[in-house]
């Protein structure tokens, strides 16, 4: 690896909706995107013992996994080994504060070249006012504590993943008011905006103000064919990294494949 390569990093985030079902999509994508240093996966949907490690290790990726049965699950795939890998909120927060919010496996992070890469699978929330919606809000409140604590020790933080929140109307295919929809309710948006006040900025919006960019499309209603998507997968950067950022883009190609994930990769380079 050249020094030049060390100076530039690419980090990708992809909700694969089952790593086993999507295995060839992910390995093909890694091989087609050799400049990606770290791939952050969400919704792996598999216990650690059954995670298809060998497929990635065969391509010379280190695998760091934090999974559970059937639901959720996050993983980091990295060409160079990562340092100080942490799983769950309780890695740095008091158990009393975390409560049962680590039962669902949604948080994993590691350090590469002095940058902490935090991979998140934010709860979906189901529908406004539901029990799952309350869980989403509690989870996001704890995430804020987690971010503040993390920022006590590093100025280089890349928080990425499936946030299950579209922060602006232009991040949704329609201009229709979405106040009553999960992922775009005012409370969700305000909560995410408030989270970012810890000192994080949307890498994607450094490079374009355009609407019409989607990272997720519903499987139903031929949404992808009709370009009816949402931008809900994000890379948030601390000021030092944000200043360094060279590109941030969404790779729509995997969404076109047979039996695709409903999400598609988002990549940032800095």
Partner DNA sequence: ATGGCCTGTTACACAGGA
> What contacts 39, CB < 8 A, 6 or more positions away?
11, 12, 13, 14, 26, 30, 61, 76, 77, 78, 265
Question: Cβ 182 to DNA, closest distance in Å?
Answer: 6
Whole-angstrom distance, CA of residue 137 vs CA of residue 190: 11
Query: By C-beta, is 202 or 262 nearer to DNA?
Result: 262
**102 lies in the binding site for DNA (CB under 7 A):** no
C-alpha 187/C-alpha 179 separation (Å) is 9
Q: Nearer to DNA by C-beta: 47 or 187? A: 47
Residue 85 to residue 95: CA distance in whole angstroms: 18
- Bridge partners (DSSP) of residue 12 are 39, 267
* Nearest distance from C-beta of residue 14 to DNA, angstroms: 11
Q: What is the DSSP code string of 174-238? A: --S--TTSTTS-HHHHHHHHHHHTTT-EETHHHH---S---SEE-SGGGTTTTT-EE--EEEEE-
Among residues 56, 204, 216, 270, the one that binds DNA under rule CB under 7 A: 216
Among 70, 154, 155, 246, binds DNA (CB under 7 A): 70
Least spacing, CB of residue 104 vs DNA, in Å: 8
Closer residue to DNA, CB minimum distance, 147 or 182? 182
Nearest approach in angstroms of CB 18 to DNA is: 3
Give the nearest distance from C-beta 229 to DNA in angstroms: 9
Show the site string, 146-165: x = touches DNA by CB under 7 A, - = not: ----------------x-x-
* Under rule CB under 7 A, residue 219 binds DNA: yes
**Nearest CB to DNA, comparing residues 36 and 172:** 172
Q: Of the two residues 27 and 113, which places its CB atom closer to DNA in the complex? A: 27
Query: Using CA atoms, how far apart are residues 77 and 39, in angstroms rounded to an integer?
Result: 5
21 binds DNA (CB under 7 A): yes
Q: Check: CB of residue 24 under 8 Å from CB of residue 259.
A: no
């Amino acid at each position: 690896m050249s020094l030049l390569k060390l100076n530039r990093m690419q980090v990708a985030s992809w909700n694969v909706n089952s790593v086993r079902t999507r295995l060839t999509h992910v390995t093909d994508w890694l091989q087609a995107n050799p400049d990606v240093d770290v791939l952050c996966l969400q919704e792996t949907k598999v216990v650690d013992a059954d995670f298809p490690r060998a497929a990635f290790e065969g391509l010379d990726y280190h695998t760091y996994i934090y999974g559970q049965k059937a639901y959720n699950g996050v993983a980091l795939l990295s060409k160079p080994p990562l340092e100080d890998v942490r799983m769950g909120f309780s890695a740095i927060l008091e158990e009393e504060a975390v409560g049962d919010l680590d039962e669902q496996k949604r948080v994993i992070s590691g350090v590469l070249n002095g940058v902490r890469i935090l991979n998140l699978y934010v709860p979906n929330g189901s529908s406004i006012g539901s029990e799952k919606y309350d869980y989403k809000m509690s989870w996001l409140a704890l995430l804020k504590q987690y971010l503040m604590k993390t920022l006590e020790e590093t100025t280089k933080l890349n928080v990425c993943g499936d946030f299950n929140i579209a922060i602006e109307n232009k991040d949704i295919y329609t201009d229709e008011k979405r106040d009553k929809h999960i992922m775009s309710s005012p409370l969700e948006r305000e909560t995410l905006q408030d989270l970012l006040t810890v000192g994080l900025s949307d890498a994607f919006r450094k490079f374009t103000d355009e609407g019409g960019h989607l990272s997720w499309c519903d499987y139903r209603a031929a949404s992808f064919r009709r370009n009816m998507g949402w931008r809900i997968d994000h890379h948030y950067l601390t000021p030092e990294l944000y200043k360094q950022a060279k590109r941030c883009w969404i790779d729509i190609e995997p969404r076109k494949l047979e039996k695709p994930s409903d999400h598609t990769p988002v990549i940032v380079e800095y």
